[in-house]
Structure 1
Amino acid sequence: MADGGREPTNKDLMDCMNALGVRIGAMERKLGVLDNLEVKVMDFDKELKKIWLALDDRVKRTDARVMSLEELVDYADVGAAQMAEKVAMLEKQREELRDDVAYLKSQSMRNNLVFTNIQEDNSTGIETAEITETKLRNHLQEKLKIAKDIADTIRFERVYRSPGQPVSGKIRNIVAKFTFFKDREMVRREWKHLSGTGCQMFEQFPPEVVEKRRKLVPKMKDATKEGKRSWIVYDTLYVDGKPVKQ
């Protein structure tokens, strides 16, 4: 009904219908926007699913690569450990071989003694082996107090000066290789007679053994100062009859 109880006119009805049409049109436009938005949301959802699937696939592939790398690292660690063990074993074998070679060298020098400060005829640059041997036999008699008949009968495989060119004013050592070890020991036991003569006599060893013996000398002297019996045999120090570890 119209205001004041008046019946609505056709114009009133038309206005009301127009207003409803406007409102319905607005609602349809909003529904259209909502429909477009729904489509966009659905499209966005599809895109998100694609992205998620791609990320999931990439994560799986990355995990697989990481696992593969971890396995490689594990293998590398195992390989490195095995390699370290092999290197350590080879190092040990090398040291053992060095010791064996040094021992074999020492055995080849077993009958050798080295004599120092025996006058050398180097004015001409040449001292024959015969002259060197004669000088050594005289040295055995004069300095080591070995009887002439014994000194003359000692047999040598070889007597020679240390390698190197003779230098005026310098005396090279004499290396004597005895034929019999008992003769070498007989001569070596007379070492005390060289005290105060300026001459020395010592066993010949390879450089490796000489270096080990040199390191043991201070320990031997310390043990002697403590009143202990100490001596060096080959490359081992003995104190009161017991070998001392280096």
Structure 2
Amino acid sequence: MGKKGKKRKTDDISNQSLRSTQSENSSRGRSVSEQHAVSFMLNEANNILYRTPDERYCAENAGNAENAENIAYVSTPLIAGNACSTSSQFAEINQKLEFIMQKLQKLDVIEERMNRLDTRMDSLESRVVATEKINDEFEKSVKYVSGKCDEFQLKSNEITALSKTMEKQRKDITDLSDNIERQKAEMEKLNREMAQATEKKKELEESVLDLRCRSMKYNLVFTGVDGESREENTEGRIRDFIYYDLGIDSHMEFCNVHRFGRFVRGKCRPIVARFVYNQDRDAVLRNAYKLKGTQCGVHEQFPKEVEDKRRELYPIVKDLKRSGNTNVKLVRDKLYVNGRLYNPGTPSSGRGTAIDTQPVGSAAEPMTVR
């Protein structure tokens, strides 16, 4: 601690001592002159201890008049009055000064500690500033992280909603897949039933076709027979045709004889005759060759489906006969060559069971029963 600081502290202590001394003097009833004398002596002691010679000289020159007055004022009462009391006061003042010096030494220690404390406070302040800066950055980071957390929460909610939607769609797809599997099983069942129904339908159609063929077994179709009119006796006309054109002199029984097909003016519709006895029918077919070279013809009657297939096979029959195959038979809608079933381009095994009754004579097209 410097001299000026010690001087200030000494001045403060002197003032405090003066105040305490004044209070004590007032309590003891001391005079005002004694108080001024103590104050003057304290100031002088302070000047001697802590002021430089220049400062003491300036102070002495500046306050000579006042000091002279004080000394003159104080010395007279002191010398004249109460010398013993003054010496005791100086002793007390010396004790107080010693006490004050001890306190001043402690003040130096306190000042040093205060300086260290100031240094620490400066360091702490800088650390506080750095901490505040870090805290600001941390708050910004927290805000940024909070914003990202909000975005993440929003995305998480969207993902959750999307997951629920996908789960629902997955369930719908599963249900749809199950429905498809059930529909597929039902379709397979329906396909099997359809195949069975188709096979059964085919069998029924073949059965119906066979029944129709059997029902037409006793029928013969006569083409090119003229004389059609509204008053025509069709059965009589067929009897005359068999007798005069085929040369068969026998009485034949018929179930029904009539013309069929759409009427066209200037043309004769074919006649279908149903025989009672099969031998009469066969006799007519055996003599049908006699009609070769005429406009008339005789052939068996078949359903339209069979007639269409037979019409496709007629050119093949002619080609086979021209090539020298004499054992060619057309049974209903099937062609047999040398006892084998013939398919166009691919012969297959099989034996004929019926005699071909292809019409002989003119190449008249087969007709169907109306």
Alignment partner, residue 218 of structure 1: 315
SS of residue in 2 equivalent to 1:209: helix
Alignment partner, residue 3 of structure 1: none
Q: Distance in 2 between matches of 1:64 and 1:21?
A: 61
Q: Out of 208-217 and 174-183, give the one that drifted further.
A: 208-217
Q: Distance in 1 between matches of 2:154 and 2:138?
A: 24
C-alpha displacement of 1:187: 1.0
Contact 2:261-2:270 at 8 Å conserved across structures: no
Alignment partner, residue 270 of structure 2: 173
Alignment partner, residue 239 of structure 1: 337
Alignment partner, residue 185 of structure 1: 282
Q: Distance in 2 between matches of 1:20 and 1:234?
A: 120
C-alpha displacement of 1:156: 1.3
How many equivalent pairs are there? 230
Contact 1:116-1:199 at 8 Å conserved across structures: yes
C-alpha displacement of 1:104: 1.9
Contact 1:162-1:173 at 8 Å conserved across structures: yes
How has the CA–CA distance of structure 1 residues 43 and 171 changed in structure 2, closer, same or farther, with 3 Å as cutoff?
closer
SS of residue in 2 equivalent to 1:145: coil
SS of residue in 2 equivalent to 1:154: coil
C-alpha displacement of 1:22: 2.7
Q: Distance in 2 between matches of 1:128 and 1:226?
A: 45
Q: 2:253 aligns with which of 129, 145, 155?
A: 155
Alignment partner, residue 114 of structure 1: 221
Flag structure 1 segments of 5+ consecutive residues without an equivalent.
Answer: 1-6
Contact 1:160-1:175 at 8 Å conserved across structures: yes
TM-score when normalising by structure 2: 0.54
Superposed counterparts of 1:1-246, under 5 Å: 13=119, 18-122=125-229, 126-129=230-233, 132-146=234-248, 148=249, 150=250, 153-165=251-263, 167-228=264-325, 229-245=327-343
Higher helix share: 2
TM-score when normalising by structure 1: 0.78
Q: Distance in 1 between matches of 2:296 and 2:127?
A: 138
Letter in 2 for 1:26: K
Q: Distance in 2 between matches of 1:109 and 1:45?
A: 89
Contact 1:143-1:197 at 8 Å conserved across structures: no
Flag structure 2 segments of 5+ consecutive residues without an equivalent.
Answer: 1-111, 345-370
Cα deviations across residues 186-228 of structure 1 (Å, max 9, x unaligned)? 1111111111122110111121221121122233223323322
C-alpha displacement of 1:184: 0.5
Q: Out of 212-221 and 37-46, give the one that drifted further.
A: 37-46
Q: Distance in 2 between matches of 1:161 and 1:25?
A: 124
Q: Distance in 1 between matches of 2:204 and 2:262?
A: 29
Letter in 1 for 2:337: V
C-alpha displacement of 1:44: 4.8
Cα deviations across residues 52-84 of structure 1 (Å, max 9, x unaligned)? 444444443333333332222233333333323
Letter in 2 for 1:231: K
Higher RCO structure, 1 or 2 (CA under 8 Å, sep 6+): 1
Contact 1:115-1:174 at 8 Å conserved across structures: yes
Q: Distance in 2 between matches of 1:35 and 1:224?
A: 108
Contact 1:232-1:238 at 8 Å conserved across structures: yes
Q: Distance in 2 between matches of 1:173 and 1:44?
A: 95
Q: Distance in 2 between matches of 1:159 and 1:56?
A: 84
RMSD over equivalenced CA pairs, Å: 3.0
C-alpha displacement of 1:42: 4.7
How has the CA–CA distance of structure 1 residues 127 and 96 changed in structure 2, closer, same or farther, with 3 Å as cutoff?
farther
Report the identity percentage. 29
C-alpha displacement of 1:108: 2.0
Q: Distance in 2 between matches of 1:49 and 1:164?
A: 84
